[in-house]
């Protein structure tokens, strides 16, 4: 059943039965406000729903083995953006709603998973999603990863606040580590408050390749990456209780 919630009266209104729909994907939905179209991934494929009546307008079959997730509507091109897992890599793809054709844009190098929830900045053609690398900022036209921002484990529910050009996110914990100096020349120190068990530490480049790995046993330790090229790296720390990530900048 397709339904609406009036935020002023706090009342729900059932609009229409979604005939033939056995499930809708949790988190994988998006909205075209100008044309009152709601999109979701269902057992039928990409389902286009009239947001005022709840009537199914159209469905587009998804010829993708592992489905499509993290969909966002691009009002500039009348396309849906998202990704799918090929079995070995995540591919960023678009769906032209007029021709009902998919176009694979680029492999998301180093990305092992994307969250079903995502956000989109139509003015600057930027697509955002939570990945194993952190918040990934993706060029919506080319599929190229523009940047990654390391985050604490457990963040979900990301949206872009267009008024301030910041991401609004929620998370389940506040575990973190300190990295200093950052940016640095390749030599830096990390501090993990409360570390009382051995932790596995990796540093990855933006291609997802591990450039440094070790096991640490104390709250404070030093890392030397002076042999690495300048750029952005992701520090990944894993213990029995938590996983922590932080972006490192080598100048």
Mean pLDDT to the nearest integer, 10-33 = 87
Can you give the residue ranges of every domain in the chain? 2-170, 178-250
Write out pLDDT tens, residues 38-58: 999 888 989 999 999 999 999
d(CA 233, CA 219): 21
Q: Is the pLDDT of residue 64 over 80?
A: no
Residue 215 half-sphere exposure toward CB, CA atoms < 13 A: 7
CATH code of the domain occupying 2-170: 2.130.10.10
Report pTM. 0.65
Q: Give bridge partners of residue 12 from the DSSP assignment.
A: 5
In this structure, whether the domain defined by 178-250 belongs to CATH 1.10.287.3510 is answered with: no
218 contacts: CB under 8 Å, gap ≥ 6: 195
Helices (H), the chain: none
Preceding amide of 134 cis, omega within 30: no
Mean pLDDT to the nearest integer, 19-25 = 85
d(CA 201, CA 213): 6
Mean pLDDT to the nearest integer, 95-108 = 93
Write out pLDDT tens, residues 123-142: 888 999 888 888 899 999 99
186 and 227 Cβ atoms separated by less than 8 Å: yes
pLDDT confidence band for 205 (50 / 70 / 90):
confident
pLDDT confidence band for 103 (50 / 70 / 90):
very high
Complete edge-to-edge strand list for the sheet that includes strand 126-131: 114-121, 126-131, 134-139, 145-149
Mean pLDDT to the nearest integer, 178-203 = 88
């Amino acid at each position: 059943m397709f339904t609406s919630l009036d935020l002023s009266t706090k009342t729900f209104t059932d609009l229409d039965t979604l005939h033939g729909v056995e499930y809708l994907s949790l988190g994988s939905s998006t909205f075209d406000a100008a044309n009152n179209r709601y999109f979701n991934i269902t057992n039928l494929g990409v389902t286009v729903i009239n947001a005022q009546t709840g009537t199914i307008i159209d469905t587009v079959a998804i010829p993708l083995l592992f489905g499509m997730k993290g969909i966002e509507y691009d009002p500039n091109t009348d396309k849906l953006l998202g990704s799918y897992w090929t079995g070995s890599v995540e591919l960023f793809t678009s769906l032209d709603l007029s021709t009902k054709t998919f176009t694979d844009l680029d492999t998301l190098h180093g990305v092992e998973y994307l969250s079903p929830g995502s956000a989109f900045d139509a003015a600057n053609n930027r697509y955002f999603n939570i990945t194993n690398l952190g918040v990934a900022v993706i060029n919506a036209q080319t599929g190229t990863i523009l940047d990654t921002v390391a985050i604490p484990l457990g963040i979900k529910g990301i949206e872009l606040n267009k008024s301030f050009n910041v991401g609004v996110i929620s998370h389940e914990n506040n575990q973190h580590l300190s990295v200093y100096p950052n940016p640095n020349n390749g030599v830096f120190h990390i501090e993990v408050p409360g570390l009382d068990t051995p932790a596995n530490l990796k540093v990855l480049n933006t291609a997802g390749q591990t450039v440094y790995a070790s096991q640490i046993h104390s709250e404070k330790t030093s890392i030397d990456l002076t042999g690495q090229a300048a750029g952005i790296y992701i520090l990944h720390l894993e213990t029995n209780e938590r996983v922590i990530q932080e972006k490192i900048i080598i100048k």
